[in-house]
Each structure stands twice: as structure tokens, then as C-alpha cells.
Amino acid sequence: MRGTRAQTNTGRKEGVNLNKQQKQKKETTIDSYYSPNGTEGERSANNKPEIPANWIQAVEELKTQLREAEDNCEKNLKIKISHLETEALELKQENSVLKAKILQLENEAKEMKDEAKEMKEEIKRMKDDLQRNSDQKEKDDQKAKDEIQSLRTRVKQLESSDLTRQQDTIKQNKENEKIEENVKHLIHKTDDLENHSRRDNLRIIGLPEDYDKRKSLAIILEEIIQENCPEILEQEGKVEIDRIHRSLPAFNPQRTTPRNVIAKFKNNQMKEQVLQAAKKKPFRYHGNMVRITQDLSASTLKDRKPWYMIFWKARELGLQPRIKYPSKLTIFLEGKVWIFNTTEEFQAFINKRPDLNRKFEVQPQNSRESSW
């Protein structure tokens, strides 16, 4: 827009100069035509017929008007030129500003170009880094896949090995169960053999320790039989004892109960008669109550130990308890004989009978436990 304005002003200046040249040419022509000192052409024109005075006056007036018009035109032209110069100065200043801005924009464009170049280089470096990272990631992924595959293979091997071990364990457990069953059977058989070897033995419980200091245990046993069941001696005659001794090898003064006496009879029939008589009534010796039971192995006595409290309480309640070989309890209740293999079975039995359950809530007595 500013360039168009400058072209318009230049065209105006050229038009003003052209008008000035045309007017000066016209004045020269008119003045020289009417001037007495004109050129030959002008003087030859004086020889022409005389021009009327009113025409001359009109020409003068026209000249005056032309001069005034020229002056006005010149003033206007000067004013316009002044305006145009002012505008040209402003345009020049604006042009300088534009040039400065253009220079600034060029610098900024150069800086932006440099920045763009740097950004391109940075992008290239980033691409290179990304490519390297991508390659490294692919390598790592492949390595991880290989490791996972190796672990899966290892897991399968371990599972297979574990399965084999489980099968071996199951097989070994079955073999162990068989061995345990065999061991239990052998223990049971051993206990049975030991108990069989003790079939001629009786265990005397509650005999004071000081009695056998004055006389032998064999004489004491014969006196016990004579005092409590003399009919056996009348039938069988003298008591024949193979061996008789206290159960423990040495006396312990801190023990509150006397040691048991174990007697081995030569005559099994007499032993059975004494045992049956002892089951029917309690035996006494010199006023002290003694108990006579079948001699059994330590393991059988251990199995019978949980029945101690139940046995004595059942006897107090009149249930006629019996310990059957090897370690079973029988009671007589409601006109029937009940057999229990374990104390758990007996507990479940009395739990169903609240009145009976309350009666069995007692603590065992130490003296009775020791008698077993």
C-alpha cells in the first residue's frame, strides 16, 4: 500500500512539471506575439490588421487570470509537494522501521533455522538412541524369552522330578505303613509272647516292704493264701513257687507305695485258683489289704493305665468292671455287658447318658493307680 502511495505522489509531481512547461510556452507565445520587440515572425504579425482594443484588454485579463491561476497552482503544488515530502519522510522512517523489523525477522529466522537444525540433530540423536534402545530391548526381550523358556524347561524337569519323588514317597510311605504294620504286629506278638511267658505269674500289690525283711516272700505268699483261701492249700497241698521277687531291683525310700511282688508258680492250676479267689474278694495279710492280679508285660500295663480311674469309679457305681486281655474294659449296665476297646469309646458312651457322665467326673487316686 505504501509503495502504491509513493508511485501516486511521483506521478503527481511529473504532471505539475508538465503543466508548468505548457503554461510557460503559452505565455511566451502570447507575449512575443503582442510585444513590439518580438521576433521576425512576431513583427510580421504586427503588419497584420490592427486588433481591437477590447480583445487586447480581454487578453490582458486572461493573462492576469492565467498568472493568478499559475500562482495558485504553484502554491497548491508547493503545499502538495510539502505534504508529499512529509509523507515521503514518514514513508522513509517507516521503511527504516520495516527494514529494522525485517532485519530482526531475518535474525530471528536465522536463529529459528539454527534452532531447527539443532532440533533436527537432536531428533536424529533421539532416533538413534531410540533405535539403540529398541535394539537393546529386543535383545533383552529375546534374552528374557530364552531365560523364561529355560525356566519352563527347568520347571518341567522339576515337576517331573517332583512327580517321581512323590511317587517314590507314596511308594515309600506304603512300604513304611507295611513296615509299621509289621512292627505293630511284631510288637503285639512279642507282647503276647511275653504275656504268655508270664502266664504262671501273679503280681501281689500293696505288700509292705518291711514284711520280707523278717521272712521270705515265698513264706509270705503261702501265708496270704492260707489266710484268704485255705481250701486251695487243702486241695493242692504245699505252694510250689519257681521264683518270687520285688518288681524293682532296689528299694526307693522316696516311693510312697511298696514295690509289687512277682511270683512264678510251678503249678498253673493253683495260680488260676488263687487268681479267681482274689477276683471274688479282697485279700488281707496281717490286717493290710493286698491285691493279687495277673502279671503282664510293661506295654500291656501301659495300655491298661488309662482305665485306672474309670475302673475304680465303675466299681464304686456297682457296674462290675473287668479288664479283659489285653486292655479292654467291660461293664455290666442295663442288663447287658458292654465292651470298650479305648477310653474314647467309653467317653462317647457316657456322653450319651448325662446322669452317668456326671458320676464319672472324679479325679484318680494315686494309691489306686500305683496298684495297677
pLDDT in tens, 287-335: 889 999 888 888 888 888 888 888 888 888 888 888 888 888 898 888 8
The pLDDT value recorded for residue 367 is 41
pLDDT score of 370: 40
Number of neighbouring beta carbons within 10 Å of residue 322: 16
pTM for the full predicted model = 0.48
Out of 295, 327, 345, a domain closes at 295
Average pLDDT, stretch 262-277?
90
Answer with the one of 276, 295, 314 that is the final residue of a domain.
295
Task: Spell out the long-range contacts of 159-168 with Cβ–Cβ below 8 A and sequence spacing 24 or more.
Answer: none
Q: Which domain holds residue 264?
A: 201-295
Burial profile 158-194: b = 16 or more Cβ within 10 angstroms, e = fewer: eeeeeeeeeeeeeeeeeeeeeeeeeeeeeeeeebeee
pLDDT attached to residue 51: 67
Last residue of a domain, one of 250, 269, 295: 295
Provide the pLDDT confidence category of residue 361 given band limits of 50, 70 and 90.
Answer: low
> Is the residue at 147 inside a domain?
no
Task: Quick: pLDDT tens for 60-86.
Answer: 888 888 888 888 888 888 898 888 888
- Distance (Å, whole) CA 341 – CA 69: 157
Same domain as 304, residue 251: no
Domain CATH for 352: 3.30.250.20
Residue 363 banded pLDDT, cuts 50, 70, 90: very low
CATH number at residue 264: 3.30.70.1820
Determine the average pLDDT of the residues in 5-23.
50
What local confidence, expressed as pLDDT, does residue 24 receive?
Answer: 52
